[in-house]
A and B are shown apart, each in its own frame.
Chain A
Amino acid sequence: MNLEFNEDQIDALREFMNVSIGAATANLANLLDAFGTMHIPKIEICNSSELSQKIESTIDIGSMYYATKQLFTGKFGGECMFIISEESARNLGRHLYNATTPSRDDISDAVIELTNILTSTIVSRLTQELDTQVQFFVPSSQFIDAHSIVNSEDVADYSKIIIISTILDFKDQKINGNIYILTKDEAIKSLKILIDKKIEEIYG
């Protein structure tokens, strides 16, 4: 099966992800008791080797980041990654823990919680539509520089990777981060089938 998406398919996938991210944003808004500004999600289909460069191009290379990765497995399996700058993460920790100087552990816990909510909401919605189930694994967080977030040599060798990314943006709390949903071959196929079904429903 061809893993490329045409314009209508990309449009439909973006719209579908937009709705999922809307649900995730609402859940986070609930947790943080704050209002999140939504941004248009970006859909990119690339080769494994391009992944690190794609991610580095969306963030400030000079900063340190909390990079949290969460695995989900099943028919629709992949990885959700949440990247938040040190400062934003500190603001998040401060906000969530009600502390002026949250500890590294507090911050780490806060970003993990955020990632978990994001992943769970977005992926659950997808899998609900796909009529399949996934298992979520414990997110793990690392405090690293921009270059170390994705090590090109470590990226699994899939023919295609789909990157669905958007910005999490809580302006008043000065919390913002990048969300990436990474998935590959098999899952891209299921996504494509789902999208075609949606297109069929709407366009008739």
Chain B
Amino acid sequence: MEIKYPDVLLDSLENGHMIIDDKFIVSYWNRWLAINTQISKEEIIGKKLDEFYPNINYKVLYRKIKTALLINTPSFYDTNSNVKFIPMNRNKVTTSSLMLMQQQVTISPYIACENKVMVSIYDISELFEAKLSLKKEIEKVNKLNDKLEADQEIIDRNIMMMRTSFDGVIIDVSTFFCQFFEFKKDFILGKNISTFKQDGGFSATYKELWETIRNKKCWSGELKLKTYKGEEKWVQSRITPILDIDGEVLEFSAVYHDITNEKLLEELYITDPLTKLYNRAHFDEVVNFIVKHQRKTDTDFVLVITDIDHFKSINDTYGHQIGDEALVSVANTLKDSLREDDLIARWGGEEFVIMLKNVTLDEAKTIIEKVRASVEKNKINGTINATASFGITKYILGEDIKKTFKRVDDALYEAKKSGRNRAVLK
């Protein structure tokens, strides 16, 4: 019986179809197979498949044929295996990871009474390649993820970081932050950032910080924070606002770096060890900076020099220790009676220098008169009276600082000469 139409149909298909029986004798071989195997219909029909392809697992193939015939639906040959059914070269030159065609082999029942089945071979190389490359990509992504996780862990353990909501509620902190500030993470989360601020966050620094980040800009600077146990820590901070898609502040992210030790060293370097006031070197540096830059806000100041009266005789009468106590006592009086913004330094021996900011000479005179009275009132070691003389002058815009110092020295000299325990204005 010759059926023409199925031939046309089967030959036009882009996959292989053969008809074999349970003894593997080929009774049909379509055009696709002939092209891809280089074995013509005429060569193979009537012969056994194993003469041409001895490497097929015929035991398995036999079973599959039997199964297909038994259940009267297709069975499938070796769908997962790397072993090819009929090896066929792929002719793809570019972007191919497969040399041989990846095949899907379906065995469909054909004529059950003759034990005949149709074996269909589908080229699934493209699909297989896509799967392979997908697998490769997934592996890559997994590897990256692992690395990212490891990095994150390192960051978490070694860098102080915090995320807060726009109104300062803490959303997340790194492990290192918690260790450094001796807080439990659970304790911190949900609290307001002001928990850490040394002075409740009212100083000029915090005002500037909030203004900057509220205006959606980054802020960098040094902050003094306190640990759970109340210890003061200095941190170099960088606070970045995170904006939502509408450009509104959603959160803040902050990175901190501990600079407490540097701060301590710096303080040591500019502090007079006895009185804990700034030392002369620091005062010089500040004054020179101001004079050099001549910024309007800085140059409006009054310079004061004060000297403890009869200090030598205090030293001689009561000994050096009391002398030192006198110095510390006067230093503390100065500190206590002046503003925080005023710069006070030990100028040398029993002399102190003061920079009063943004005051007129008259105002300075009033301030210093109060200071003088305080010094006079405070007894050193509870018994000894000490007084001090003061020279006062105003820095004139653009003038050489030496001139200012000369004037203030003259004023002090005059105060001493005219009876001590007084302030003279020049």
Contact = CB atoms under 8 A, between A and B. Distances in A.
Contacts of B72: 120, 124
Interface in B37-94: 60, 63-64, 67, 70-76, 78-83
B71 A121 contact: yes
A174 B74 CA distance: 27
A109 interface: yes
A31 B74 contact: no
Nearest to B71: A120
Given A120-B73, A136-B73, A136-B74, A113 B67 contact: yes
A31 B68 CA distance: 11
A144 B347 CA distance: 81
B130 to A, nearest CB: 14
Interface in B70-124: 70-76, 78-83, 104, 106
Contacts of B81: 105, 108-109
Q: Which of A31, A116, A121, A140 has the most B CB atoms < 10 Å from its CB?
A: A116
Contact of B71 (A124, A138, A141): A124
A contact face: mostly helix, strand, loop, or mixed: helix
A83 to B, nearest CB: 16
Given A120-B73, A136-B74, A105 B67 contact: no
B82 A27 contact: no
Nearest to A31: B67
Interface size class of A (residues with CB under 8 A): 20 to 34
A141 B76 CA distance: 12
A69 to B, nearest CB: 12
A20 to B, nearest CB: 12
Nearest to B76: A138
Given A105-B82, A141-B80, A31 B63 contact: yes
Contacts of B106: 138
A139 interface: yes
B71 A109 contact: no
A151 interface: no
Interface string B227-268: 000000000000000000000000000000000000000000
Interface string A133-167: 00010111100000000000000000000000000
B72 to A, nearest CB: 7
A136 B403 CA distance: 104
A116 B72 CA distance: 11
A105 B80 contact: yes
Interface in A20-34: 27, 30-31
B77 to A, nearest CB: 8
Interface string A7-49: 0000000000000000000010011000000000000000000
Contacts of B73: 116, 120, 124, 136
A138 B79 contact: yes
Nearest to A98: B59
A92 interface: no
Interface string A92-120: 00001100000001001100110011001
A96 B75 CA distance: 15
B290 to A, nearest CB: 67
12 contacts: A30-B70, A105-B80, A108-B80, A109-B60, A109-B81, A112-B80, A113-B67, A116-B74, A120-B71, A120-B74, A138-B106, A141-B79
The 5 closest A-B pairs by CB, nearest first: A120-B73, A105-B81, A108-B80, A120-B71, A138-B76
